[in-house]
Amino acid sequence: MLRCDVAVIGTGGVGSAAVAHLAQAGASVIGLDRYSPPHIHGSSHGQTRVIRMAYFEHPDYVPLLHQAYRGWSDLQQATGRSLYFPTGVLQIGPEAGEVIAGTLRSAQEHHLAIQRIAYDEITDVFPGVVAPEDCVGILERDAGYLLVSECIQAYLEQAKRHGANIKTDSPVQSWTRIGQTFELRTASEVIHAGQLIICGGAWASQLLADLKVPMTILRKHLYWYANDASAYTSQAQFPVFLIETPTGIYYGFPQIEHGVKLSRHDGGEPIASAAQQNQNEDPADRRALEAFAAGHLPLLSKNLLHREACMYTVTPDQHFLVGTHPEHDGLHFAAGLSGHGFKFASALGEILCDLAMTGQTSSPIEFLSPRRFS
């Protein structure tokens, strides 16, 4: 039997950050993952993730984004890795739409610097982009992207350097509260922990079933296309972009290595459980994405270089679940990140560390409590 101060289930984006923060805080910590991270079987893969401050999803995320930016900067300095790239983020959509109206609301409420671009100026400023009719653009120059696998590797290296025990290929079969201790069982071991943190991604609906918050798992597809015209590169001052169209919300990145990455943020294929995840192609999803690219990224090649599938774990209101379990003192979690959580991983890892070490956090997470569904 193994014993530790804190056990962390899941060592992807948030879990790796939590393990690292705990180890640096002096806790004896065991991190467990059913695979060997970083891997392609969950939600934290696919080369890149957007990070932006003027957050259209809700203004209450902005203070957590300030914390996240500081966390990524600290990790870069501690490891010497380049993890964050401020290419700028261009968001395009109708003025009253979800993206632009939400972005303006966050920017106004938190006094964030953004640049408004009129519809007839978007293509002049960013050749290679054709905006949908009656749309405007907002450029956030200090936003950009994170390298997903490199961020996870950096946190796991930090965790191990400070004494964390990382157990890969070790699915947790069950956890049980026994007195003041949590008992975790894998196929080969029993672990007793004083505190438990669950960052289970698409497996969270099973691991946190007694929260009674429904979480939908969506299979999402990521595509990389050839950049034959070389228009869509950061060297050509091309930013990360997100475009709201009548048929969906699409996003993409400038070419980094193998092509220009594109995906659709809304939509997705519901699957019953994470065990049903696979890397099979969805022809309808690809046709919709290529129709978007043909209309709005006309210089992009139609040559598909690479494709992957990942999972969104979506709550009913598409906001996160973060906090301490209402029925199990000592059990803390970050779940249901709904396809927009990776950028917060540095902050959420620190918050989970605070909760496990002190029972409280000064970070404003009350709006993410599962109590909102009571």
Contact 186, 170 (CB under 8 A): yes
Clarify whether 79 is annotated catalytic: no
Active site residue 343: yes
Task: Pick the catalytic residue from 11, 48, 87, 315.
Answer: 48
Q: Which of 135, 151, 310, 353 is catalytic?
A: 310
CA distances, 15 to each of 7, 53, 66, 335, 345 (Å): 10, 22, 20, 11, 8
DSSP tag of 95: T
Out of 49, 219, 221, 332, the active site residue is 49
- Residue 4's SS3 state is strand
Q: Are 331 and 24 in contact (CB under 8 A)?
A: no
Q: Per 3-state DSSP, what percentage of the chain is helix, strand, and coil (rounded to 5)?
A: 30, 30, 40
Sign of CA dihedral 57, 58, 60, 65: positive
Task: Give me the residue label for tokens 């984006």.
Answer: 13
Choosing from 34, 41, 45, 221, the catalytic residue is: 45
48: annotated active-site residue: yes
**Residue 222, strand partner residues:** 263, 308
Choose, from 34, 261, 264, 332, the residue flagged as catalytic: 261
- Give the integer Cα–Cα distance in Å for 34 and 37: 9
CA count, 13 A, side-chain hemisphere, 203: 18
Respond yes or no: is residue 265 known to be catalytic: yes
Q: Is 49 a catalytic residue?
A: yes
Name the active-site residue from 199, 315, 343, 353.
343
CB neighbours (10 Å) of residue 229? Answer: 14
Whole-angstrom distance, CA of residue 223 vs CA of residue 76: 28
Helix residue ranges, H only, the chain: 13-24, 62-79, 98-110, 122-125, 148-161, 204-207, 283-296, 345-358
Active site residues: 45, 48-49, 261, 265, 310, 343
